[in-house]
């Protein structure tokens, strides 16, 4: 499984840091929605779903957390602990977010508006979806 982590360019000076993200330049899709999670309880895992079409970039802009990605064949855990790092999450990818530090703010840039019909929330259904849609294309990676 190929993990794509973007390292954004911080514009730092003696005042501090600033990161700017533009669609199709720093982010590989049109950004239609932004949401973020904070005050995540200790020991909480959230996510537990995949999307049929949606693409996302996850940025832990404060604190830290971990993301488990699962393409139906392979799982990987990716720590997010820098405000200038973004994890690309493609469609047809099961994700779980966990190990949030108490101060974590996990921001998500999404390619589509919120649409419950795009969600796959049942893991067995996800595995069937991946098989039916040729999800093992990058099997050797």
Footprint of ligand TYD (CB under 6 A): 33, 35, 46-47, 49, 114
Residue among 11, 49, 51, 62 flagged as catalytic: 49
* Closest approach of ligand TYD to the CB of residue 21, in Å: 18
Task: Rank residues 35 and 133 by Cβ distance to ligand TYD and give the closer one.
Answer: 35
In the chain the beta strands, taken as DSSP E runs, fall at: 5-7, 33-37, 46-51, 56-62, 65-70, 75-80, 85-89, 94-98, 105-110, 119-120
51 is catalytic: no
* Closest approach of ligand TYD to the CB of residue 63, in Å: 16
Task: Rank residues 46 and 68 by Cβ distance to ligand TYD and give the closer one.
Answer: 46
Task: Rank residues 75 and 114 by Cβ distance to ligand TYD and give the closer one.
Answer: 114
* Closest approach of ligand TYD to the CB of residue 110, in Å: 7
Could you give the residue numbers annotated as active site? 49
């Amino acid at each position: 499984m190929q993990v794509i982590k973007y390292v954004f360019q911080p514009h730092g000076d003696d005042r501090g840091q600033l990161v700017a993200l533009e669609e199709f330049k720093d982010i590989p899709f049109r950004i239609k929605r932004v949401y973020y999670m904070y005050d995540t309880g200790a020991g909480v895992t959230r996510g537990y779903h995949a999307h049929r079409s949606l693409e996302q970039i996850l940025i832990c802009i404060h604190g830290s957390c971990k993301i488990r990605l699962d393409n139906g064949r392979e799982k990987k855990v990716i720590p997010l602990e820098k405000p200038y790092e973004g994890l690309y999450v493609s469609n047809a990818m099961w994700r779980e977010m966990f190990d949030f530090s108490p101060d974590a703010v996990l921001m998500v840039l999404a390619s589509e508006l919120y649409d419950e019909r795009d969600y796959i929330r049942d893991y067995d259904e996800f595995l069937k979806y991946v098989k039916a849609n040729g999800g093992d294309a990058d099997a050797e990676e």
